[in-house]
């Protein structure tokens, strides 16, 4: 079930860029979390559409953003496939849903991967993170088209770490930007 009104593509691009900027500081600040995230979003909000497009370095991703119609939807995490290689996690941890990846992380939580440290830092503030930076999903097979990944209804374009953290925080569903071809 989708919301009736599609979202503007530039809203999705703004979300992607703001989440990327927040990730660059690894969700650490002396400010309260909501205020910090709000400041990050404000920096991106002031950019015009042309500047936003220029800021997306991956032009294949930009084209994917442009070619879809976007809706805000609540999606069960078990139907979401993460990026085929999530950060520095072993590729074999990323073949299935984000729930499968989260189980691997949980079973190896003391392993010295940067992505595990990032995911652990997100768990206690995952509600705020997801409120400000909903994951970006596209139809299954748009990104995860390799034979060694499980086909799922949705592929994550952005937000694999967030979704794994959501699973570890005992979330069943997430609100996400869903692109429809």
pLDDT in tens, 45-82: 989 889 999 999 999 999 999 999 999 999 999 999 99
Query: Which of the four pLDDT bands, split at 50, 70 and 90, describes residue 26?
Result: low
How does DSSP assign 158-174, residue by residue?
E-HHHHHHHHHTT-SEE
29 has pLDDT over 70: no
Examine residue 166 and state whether it is found in any structural domain, yes or no: yes
What does pTM read for this prediction?
Answer: 0.92
Number of domains in the chain: 1
Residue 85 is part of which domain span? Answer: 9-180
Examine residue 4 and state whether it is found in any structural domain, yes or no: no
Examine residue 3 and state whether it is found in any structural domain, yes or no: no
Examine residue 16 and state whether it is found in any structural domain, yes or no: yes
d(CA 83, CA 103): 16
């Amino acid at each position: 079930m989708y919301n009736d009104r599609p979202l503007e593509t530039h809203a999705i691009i703004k979300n992607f860029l703001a989440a990327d900027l927040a990730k660059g500081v690894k969700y650490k600040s002396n400010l309260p979390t909501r205020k910090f995230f709000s400041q990050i979003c404000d920096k991106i909000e002031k950019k015009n559409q042309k500047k936003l497009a220029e800021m997306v370095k991956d032009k294949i991703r930009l084209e994917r953003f442009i070619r879809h119609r976007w809706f805000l939807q609540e999606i069960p995490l078990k139907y979401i496939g993460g990026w085929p290689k999530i950060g520095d996690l072993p590729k074999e941890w990323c073949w299935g849903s984000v729930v499968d990846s989260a189980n691997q992380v949980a079973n190896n939580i003391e392993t010295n991967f940067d992505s595990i440290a990032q995911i652990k830092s997100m768990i206690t503030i995952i509600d705020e993170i997801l409120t400000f930076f909903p994951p970006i999903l596209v139809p299954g097979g748009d990104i995860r088209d390799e034979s060694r990944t499980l086909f799922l209804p949705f592929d994550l374009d952005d937000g694999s770490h967030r979704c794994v953290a959501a699973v570890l925080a005992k979330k069943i569903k997430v609100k996400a930007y869903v692109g429809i071809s």
